[in-house]
Structure 1
Amino acid sequence: MSEFKVRPIQPEDDEKIAAVIRNVLIEMGVPKVGTAYEDVSLDCMYETYDKNRCIYYVVAKGEEIYGGGGIAPLIGEEETICELQKMYFLSEIRGKGLGKSVIEKCIAFAAEQNYQKCYLETMPYMEAARKLYRKLGFSSLPAPIGNTGHYSCQEWMIKEL
């Protein structure tokens, strides 16, 4: 997997990462409403994450983008809680440790930014992702927190940093 690089998003990555995320959401059968699919930020990811206490990493091979994930403050919560956001990867790179690498980079960034907890939302049928999240220290919550607008997501997790 050494041909793949995990790096911060650049402006020229916007269109490619938006396509990756939408393709993965369709592949997984995720509803288009109440999820990341309809987020306005998908088409301007660089600008969205080019802010204080935010970062978005992409998995790149040459000019191609294969996935990514990011950290941003959790809207509607204390400033000590961040959200792991838009963690999506094309099928050809799943299971190769790149998702774990992105999450670890995100968690390290979150800790550097003095976040104390990291929250995420996912779907119950995204079993491989949930297994990885648990392996990396996330635990399930009984209900959502914050105000992500992703009312169709049905699984909520959190990790102490």
Structure 2
Amino acid sequence: MNTIRKIKKEDNAAVAALVRNNLKKFHLNIPGTVYYDKDLDHLSEFYSRDDRSYYVMENPAGEVIGGIGYARFASMEDTAELQKLYLDDVAKGFGHGYKLIEFIETKMREAGYKRSYLETHENLKAALHIYEKAGYTEIERPKEVVHSTMNRFFVKELSIR
């Protein structure tokens, strides 16, 4: 059984490789994506603040096979940005993306956020499908976008459960 837990310093290299491998596969290993973010190799430190958090999914052997996080999105009130949802190829096709989204939305609600925002790219067809099926609605590009290459933007109200 796979487990989801908070990122640890020992996970930094595995998560950075997971992100970079996925972006490279979809020709997004270019400036303006998280591929070149200075914090990518130190995510456990980056996500150690109160307004953000990152989690990894590991298989029964303890290998990191996925991850997802959130951080406050200052340009929209009461909004967290869903960040860095990536899965290893061996973990794709089993519904893990949906499980991670549901998990992180619960964490966002617990942190007091009322909506989730995300940005992605048209090359990531599977991600677009998952986000739309998970209830995200496409919106216009916010002016505060950090990753300039991203060209698809979504939001979802986080209903109280």
TM-score exceeds 0.5 = yes
Q: What's the offset of the Cα at 1:145?
A: 4.9
Q: Structure 2: how far apart are the matches of 1:106 and 1:151? A: 24
Residue identity opposite 2:64 in structure 1: I
* Structure 1 gap ranges (5+): none
Who is 1:133 aligned against? 131
Say whether 1:156 aligns with 2:153.
yes
Please give the per-residue CA displacement for 1:14-37, whole angstroms capped at 9, x wherever unaligned. Answer: 011001111111011114210110
Q: Aligned pairs, how many?
A: 157
TM-score (norm 1): 0.91
Name which structure has the greater RCO, CA cutoff 8 Å, separation 6+.
Answer: 1
After TM superposition, give the deviation of residue 142 of structure 1 in Å: 2.0
Query: Which residue is 1:110 aligned to?
Result: 108
- TM-score under structure 2 normalisation? 0.91
Q: Cα distance, 1:79 vs. partner? A: 4.8
Amino acid at match of 1:108: T
How many Å separate the matches in 2 of 1:9 and 1:79? 26
Identity of aligned residues (%): 33
In structure 2, how many angstroms separate the alpha carbons of the residues matched to 1:28 and 1:46? Answer: 25
Q: Aligned-residue CA RMSD in angstroms? A: 1.4
Give how far 1:6 is off.
1.6
Write out per-residue CA displacement over residues 126-148 of structure 1, whole angstroms, 9 at most, x where no aligned residue: 1211111111110001223534x
Paired with 1:49 and 1:98, the residues of 2 have a C-alpha distance of: 21
Match of 2:144 in 1: 146
One-letter code aligned to 1:71: Y
Q: Structure 1 residues 81, 145: closer, same or farther in 2, change over 3 A?
A: farther
Gaps of 5+ in 2: none
